[in-house]
Chains A and B, each alone.
Chain A
Amino acid sequence: KAGVTQTPRYLIKTRGQQVTLSCSPISGHRSVSWYQQTPGQGLQFLFEYFSETQRNKGNFPGRFSGRQFSNSRSEMNVSTLELGDSALYLCASSLAVSGYGYTFGSGTRLTVV
């Protein structure tokens, strides 16, 4: 069974640019969450989508946004990139009900220069 697929794996962007990251969840999983991982802050929750609706959002500025498509695939977008946005961005998928274990992808490593 295929796992959570994130593309691209690595990305280098310039400050001020915008970036879009993609996530394909496990087949049958309708919940997709996004997390930012940095050495200083660890894993921090960005947002969660279920059936194309954002159910929860973390404490990040409005430059971070996301969406989910009808096939459960999700994208997240970061506009006006800052150096501090350099991080590993992880996508996780889960069954519909909150409280089940989440399966993570390998992440997209974003470097902002």
Chain B
Amino acid sequence: QKEVEQDPGPLSVPEGAIVSLNCTYSNSAFQYFMWYRQYSRKGPELLMYTYSSGNKEDGRFTAQVDKSSKYISLFIRDSQPSDSATYLCAMDTGTASKLTFGTGTRLQVTL
């Protein structure tokens, strides 16, 4: 079993919809939780960064971390065609100097 599980999708939603992306993990040592967005033929771009449990909001994006359930989420409000990309969750213990990634969820926002 992988340390981080993420549904690969693809997920197709109409423009304006609320999108929910999720990851589960098994390593309770993870303390830092990130969401990256990756467009085709580009490197991952850091979207959201959260330490420990709680919520964080940035514009149309909200990240949630529930450490008791080992579950993290990214919500995208008022989704736009430009949001079409692969979304990767990533986690870090804070001591290992490395990120552990989910496999990524491919999102398609249609007009």
What is the interface of chain A, defined by CB distance below 8 A to chain B?
4, 31, 33, 35, 42-45, 48, 50, 55-56, 58, 90, 92, 98-107, 109
Contact = CB atoms under 8 A, between A and B. Distances in A.
A98 B94 contact: yes
A99 B102 contact: no
Given A42-B102, A42-B104, A43-B88, A98 B97 contact: yes
Nearest to B48: A101
Contact of A104 (B44, B92, B97, B98): B44
Given A42-B103, A42-B104, A33 B97 contact: yes
A105 B34 contact: no
B43 A45 contact: no
**Which of the listed residues B44, B46, B49, B103 has the most CB atoms from chain A within 10 Å of its own CB?**
B44
B100 interface: yes
A103 B34 CA distance: 12
B97 A48 contact: yes
A104 B88 CA distance: 13
Contact of A98 (B90, B96, B100): B96
A101 B44 CA distance: 11
Interface of B: 31-32, 34, 36, 41-46, 49, 51, 88, 90, 92-104
A106 B97 CA distance: 20
B46 A58 contact: no
Contacts of A99: 31-32, 51, 92, 94
A106 B98 contact: no
B108 to A, nearest CB: 17
A101 B104 contact: no
9 smallest CB-CB distances across A and B, nearest first, come from A104-B43, A99-B94, A43-B101, A42-B103, A48-B97, A45-B98, A101-B49, A98-B97, A101-B46
B43 A105 contact: yes
